[in-house]
Chain A
Amino acid sequence: DQQVKQNSPSLSVQEGRISILNCDYTNSMFDYFLWYKKYPAEGPTFLISISSIKDKNEDGRFTVFLNKSAKHLSLHIVPSQPGDSAVYFCAASAEITGANNLFFGTGTRLTVIP
């Protein structure tokens, strides 16, 4: 059973506008959340993370929001750029020490239209 869910397989956004990617999780033991970006024929690359003690983390154009009561997190990209077109994976972990065994969502393909 999928413990991390990304219900939107794809999203298209105009260049310069905001992209919002959503993720839901079911395991209340998860306390560390990450977003990865993946280009074709490459491995996923780490983008941004947030621990459960925070509700927001910002890094440049990327902001992740965490709503623990709703078991929901989102990634905002502002402004969106064509180079942001990729598959974005949400991931979660029940510990941030030691082996960081991540559970991944199924991914959302973002297309930024020039």
Chain B
Amino acid sequence: DAGITQSPRHKVTETGTPVTLRCHQTENHRYMYWYRQDPGHGLRLIHYSYGVKDTDKGEVSDGYSVSRSKTEDFLLTLESATSSQTSVYFCATSREGSPLHFGNGTRLTVT
């Protein structure tokens, strides 16, 4: 277990409000990722980070931003939440060239 903590585990918010999801790791892994899981789509990459302050977009990055100010923390922000962003969000970490380790997810509902 890569020691990944996601917070909050559950959140309900209203359309148009900003939301920040947090991922904290204790394994000093260089790479961190945010995925979303939706029925019929599996897991899809939103953003990833290859170091402090170094981030890049994944395949479904529209409407999301990320920040990584410390090795151990990776934040995902929805600037103005929409109903299409209702999903389960997973944070993952990895070392160089190694399989991803996932956190237990955050279930976000946008009403």
Contacts and interface: CB of A to CB of B under 8 A. Distances in A.
B90 A96 contact: no
A98 B33 CA distance: 12
B97 A100 contact: yes
Given A98-B96, A100-B98, A42 B104 contact: yes
Interface residues of B, number: 28
Interface string B52-66: 000010110000000
24 contacts: A4-B42, A36-B102, A41-B104, A42-B104, A43-B4, A43-B102, A43-B104, A46-B100, A49-B99, A89-B42, A89-B43, A97-B96, A98-B50, A98-B96, A99-B56, A100-B31, A100-B94, A102-B43, A103-B59, A104-B35, A104-B43, A104-B44, A105-B42, A106-B41
Interface of B: 4, 31, 33, 35, 40-45, 48, 50, 56, 58-59, 90, 92, 94, 96-105
